[in-house]
Structures are given as structure tokens and as C-alpha cells.
Structure 1
Amino acid sequence: MSELMLECDGASLHVESEGDGPPVLVPSGAGTAFYRNSLSSALKERLQLVHVEMRGTGGSAGNLNGASFALFADDLERVRDALGFGKVFVLGHSNHGCIALEYGLRHGEHAAGIIAVGSVPDFREAFALGQSRFEAEASPERRGALEKGMAEFAAIPFGNEPNDELMLRRYISMTPLGWLDPAFDQRYLWGERAPRGMATYLGWMAGFAPTWNVAPRLNEIPAPVLAISGRYDYLCPVHLWEDAIKDGATIDLAVMEQSAHNPQVEERERFDETVLAFVDRYGSRL
């Protein structure tokens, strides 16, 4: 793995690269460990994954003043240009899928393809829709696991923990919303410590995301778009992609029927096959 710092419009961006093959930019606002650990070695044998930490998070400097998914997409474009890539694929998971879509809208001439994983094209109703689905569908076991996790988080003596660690533990307490197995232990994916800036970034995201919607503009993206969603994702519900397609969006949607928010782990083999088939199909655009 190689790493470097790139100066980008008032911020210094930490970039890590692993694997070999067509370049794939992977944005992250909560450290690189989660994606380095959750994206498989099989992908890294075929793709060059370029992890870009958003300004003010992880090893990147800067702040989130005036931040938006569009700003982060512009940062990705500066990274692409600085590294000398022609066209790239962009793979964003969860809210980072919104950054990938913005990249397609703003810098589509340099995109070979956009891959949004466990994400949505319209965040305005995502949280409310996910909550209503959970209330309608969740088993007693899943409900109990969520209640237990939230109670354990509430019992933490907050004054004794750094904000980033608290945010990570809060996120983990919501495991039944984001994993098909409500008892899945995801802590190992995050590395030894909570990512620097995670609390600030997710706090910003929780306020900004409900204002964001590109569903009506999906067909303006000149590059092909692949959305990969878990059927049981209560954080970024697949229904929002299905609605966009009903409204005329011409994208590819792969629904992972045995996954929630993290199909790259929950259905690793099918996820890898889906991503690699997309890259193979559109690799000639590089």
C-alpha cells in the first residue's frame, strides 16, 4: 500500500492506494480502515483502490466549513488530476455514495463509471423511510437487539470517552439497522481506534444529508451508474432507488437479497462479481 498527501484548495488530503488495475476512487469521511477491511482481497487483485479521506477527517487536514457532497466531489477530482489518471471509477458507500453521484454530475467527463453502494439518490426521506420500514418489518429479535445496543450506549460515561470513540460506539449500537445479522460484531472493521474526525463528519452529514436530492438529475450523469443495495438496509432504503427508476432514471440496480447496509461484507462474492462485471463492461471508457 502506498500513501501520500495532496494539497487541494485549502485542505491537505490523505490518500492511500492499494491493489492493481483500473483506478477506483473510494471517498471516506470516517477513516480508511473500514473500507480497507471490508473491500475484499479479490477486488484488490483486479482494481487499484484509491482511498481518499475527506477534508478534516482521518489523516486529512482542513475543516468542514461550507462542506457539501459537491465540495467533496470536487476534492476527488483534484485527486484524480494530481495522480494523473485519465478517467476513473468512483465507488462510494453509504453517504459517500452521494459524493460518487455528485462526481458523476460535476465531473462526468472524467468518470468511467459511478458505483453507489448502500446509498440513496434522495436523502430527504431516507431516515424516516428506513425507520418506518424497520417498525413494519423487524423481528422481535432485531428489535430487542437494537434496544439492547441503544441502552448499552446510553450507559456509557460520556465524559470519559473522546467524541470520535463515542460516535463510533453510537454507530455500532445501531448494528440491527445496518446488518442482516443483528448481532454482527463490526468493530474489527474499524481498526484499533475510532477514526479521527468521525464525530464531526457524521454530525455534519446528519444535518446536511436531509437537504440533498439528485434523483431528478440521475440521467444527467454522462457515465454509467451502478447502485448496489441490500434488501434489508434500514439506513439507506433500496426503495428510493426503485422509485427513481420508476420515475425514469436509467441506472443499473443490483439488489442483494441477503444483505442490509454492507453488501460488500454480507454477500462478498456476489458483490465482487457485480462490481467487477461493471468495471469490465465499462473499462473501455478509461
Structure 2
Amino acid sequence: MTRTPSVSPEFAAATGSHQWVDINDNHLAVEVLGPDDAPVIITHHGAPGLGSRAEPRASFGRLADEYRVVVFDARGSGQSEGKGILSHEQWAADIDALREWIGAEQIVMAGGSYGGFMTMEYALRYPDRVSALVLRDTSADNSNAHLARENALASDRVTIDMEKFDRIDLGRVRDDEDLKDCWREILPLYDFVYDPEAVERKVEATPYRFEAHNYAFSVNLPAYDLKPRLGEIVAPTLITVGRTDWITPVSCSQVIAELVPNSELVVFEKSGHSPQIEEAEAWTKTVREFLHRVSPPIR
């Protein structure tokens, strides 16, 4: 079942065209890019309640000349509905329902930051459905939280209001405006080169859904730890990370690389949390070459 809402031309231009897809009793905003007969990549955005399909569309959309790329707003984020429990189990089930909807027996699963959490969760919950994984700036457990706090306190870029830091980090923001305010507080830490104007543009472009954010950070993450099971992932796995990533540092990616048997790690030396933006050409080349080896496009 699909339905098309009425949207203004300005909104459509800003968000990209999409369709509403009924996935597990929620209408999700979904975009499909690339050839109908190409291998399918489903990519999960980061930051529940802050992330949206815009980032994976911009980064993995570059591969749509050879791959069928599915990007979507996860349940509770962006434009999608947020009914039901916003658990990792449910989000993984939504991914698998999208796989079934697109008609793929197997997919390349990809995601950065929290989207990387869900990429690994999906691979462990639906191992037969995954042909390869692409991870970016992510972590196998919640140990990155204390590393991120240390990095925030040590930053010589800005002085962080740690009360706001703790509200967003622990999932205790009061409403969408409070989430926006706390997001503005920590955004200067993300990029390799700090640009205050770029930070403010990101603040204004972000879709805020505080309920999803709070659930993810107060309920899901305290118990999040995939390390004991990462050895079960047999699909070829590419792990990418920016050298100065403050929130999921290089050490987090190194742990994943040590535990996932068929994995490779690439560190981007002039990037923070977003090498897909800050070193876009090199990052895209790295991902494309990996995919050509493990899930070659149809020629």
C-alpha cells in the first residue's frame, strides 16, 4: 500500500521526491534511486529523531548509477510516522520489510553513526538477507558515550554547556525546541574544520523528533552491546571512519574490524564524523571499489 501526500514545491525541492510506503503499520517516507535490475543497497540514516534520508541520499545516492539505492526516514524520524515501540528489534524488522517490499532476496546494508548500529543489528538478526555491509563512523557498543563526553570536555574549539550535552546524550530533552537547542550546542564538535555558519545551516535543516531521540538514547543505548556476537557476521564488511571523529572515535571502528572476520577498515585523515561529506570523492571511491568486489553491478 502506498499513498502520495500533498506537498509544496518548495518542500519537495528541499527533501527530494518520495513515496509513502506502509511498513509494519507505519507510513515511512521512502526514496528509491537507480536502475530497477541493479543490486540493492538499503541505507539507514543516523541519529533517531535528528537524522533523515537526506544524508544517505546525498552520499549513497552517488552510487545510483550502478546500484538500486533505497533511502528512508526510519520510524519516528524525519517525515515518517512513529507509532509503536522504537526499539532496535522494530527498526530492524522495518528494514527487512523494506527489503521484501523492494523485492530483493539479499541486500547490501549500509549506515553511518546510529545507522551503523542498525546495520550491524540487521546483519545479526537477518544474516541470510545480507550480502555485504558498509559501516561509517559507528560503534559496536555504548562505550563511545564516555569517549565522546571526554572529547567534548577536552575540545579547544568551543566550550560545551555540559547540562545540554547530558540532556541530549542521555535522552532527556524536553521537546523539539530543546532538542534543537542541545543539537546546536554539540554540532561544532563534528566536522574536521569548524565553520560556525555551516553549523547553523545544519541546525536549521534538521528535522526534530524528540520522542524518537529520547527513546533511542535513554532506552536502547544503555543495553546496546553487539561485541559478543560480531564474530557471527560473515558478510564482507567495509568500515570507514574519520580520523578526528569525536563521538565514535577511530578506536570504536578498530574494535569492529577486530571482531568481524571478513572486514576491512579505512581511516580518512582529513575528516571528523562525516568522511562521506568531508572527503566525499575519496570516500565514494573506497565504497564503490569495495562494492565492485563483493556485490558487482550488472554490466
Shared fold (TM-score greater than 0.5)?
A: yes
Report Cα offsets for 1:198-222 as digits up to 9, x if no partner: x222222221223211122112123
- Secondary structure of 2:79's counterpart equals coil
Cα distance in 2 between the residues matched to 1:6 and 1:40: 20
Give 1:27 deviation, angstroms: 1.9
1:211 matched to which residue of 2? 223
2:23 matched to which residue of 1? 8
1:242 matched to which residue of 2? 254
- Secondary structure of 1:86's counterpart equals coil
Give 1:260 deviation, angstroms: 1.1
Report Cα offsets for 1:141-197 as digits up to 9, x if no partner: x2xx244xx59x89xxxxxxx94354244223312322111225145457x654252
Asked if the contact 2:179–2:208 (Cα under 8 Å) also holds between the matched residues in 1, the reply is no
Give 1:2 deviation, angstroms: 5.5
Cα distance in 1 between the residues matched to 2:246 and 2:87: 23
Alignment-mate amino acid for residue 21 of structure 2: L
TM-score of the superposed pair, with normalisation by structure 2: 0.78
Please list every run of 5 or more consecutive structure 1 residues that lacks an aligned counterpart in the other structure: 155-161
1:283 matched to which residue of 2? 295
TM-score of the superposed pair, with normalisation by structure 1: 0.81
Cα-Cα RMSD: 2.8
> What does residue range 111-130 of structure 1 map to in structure 2 within 5 Å?
111-123=130-142, 125-130=143-148
Cα distance in 1 between the residues matched to 2:52 and 2:259: 35
One of 206, 213, 217 as aligned partner of 1:202: 213
One of 33, 36, 44 as aligned partner of 1:27: 44
Cα distance in 2 between the residues matched to 1:217 and 1:188: 39
Judged with a 3 Å threshold, the aligned counterparts in structure 2 of structure 1 residues 80 and 247 are, in CA distance, closer, same or farther, namely closer
Give 1:56 deviation, angstroms: 2.4
Asked if the contact 1:34–1:189 (Cα under 8 Å) also holds between the matched residues in 2, the reply is no
2:179 matched to which residue of 1? 167
Cα distance in 2 between the residues matched to 1:170 and 1:34: 20
Task: State percent identity of aligned pairs.
Answer: 24
- Secondary structure of 1:74's counterpart equals helix
Judged with a 3 Å threshold, the aligned counterparts in structure 2 of structure 1 residues 240 and 163 are, in CA distance, closer, same or farther, namely same
Alignment-mate amino acid for residue 130 of structure 1: A
Judged with a 3 Å threshold, the aligned counterparts in structure 2 of structure 1 residues 63 and 146 are, in CA distance, closer, same or farther, namely farther
Report Cα offsets for 1:114-155 as digits up to 9, x if no partner: 1111111112x111012334556x4x3x2xx244xx59x89x
Asked if the contact 2:111–2:136 (Cα under 8 Å) also holds between the matched residues in 1, the reply is yes
Number of aligned residue pairs: give it. Answer: 266
Greater RCO (CA < 8 Å, at least 6 residues apart): 1
Judged with a 3 Å threshold, the aligned counterparts in structure 2 of structure 1 residues 41 and 193 are, in CA distance, closer, same or farther, namely closer
Asked if the contact 2:243–2:268 (Cα under 8 Å) also holds between the matched residues in 1, the reply is yes
Does residue 110 (structure 1) correspond to residue 125 (structure 2)? The answer is no
Does residue 92 (structure 1) correspond to residue 111 (structure 2)? The answer is yes
Cα distance in 1 between the residues matched to 2:126 and 2:159: 40
Cα distance in 2 between the residues matched to 1:202 and 1:209: 11
Report Cα offsets for 1:244-281 as digits up to 9, x if no partner: 44467542111111111111101111110111111111
Please list every run of 5 or more consecutive structure 2 residues that lacks an aligned counterpart in the other structure: 1-15, 166-173
Cα distance in 1 between the residues matched to 2:62 and 2:77: 27
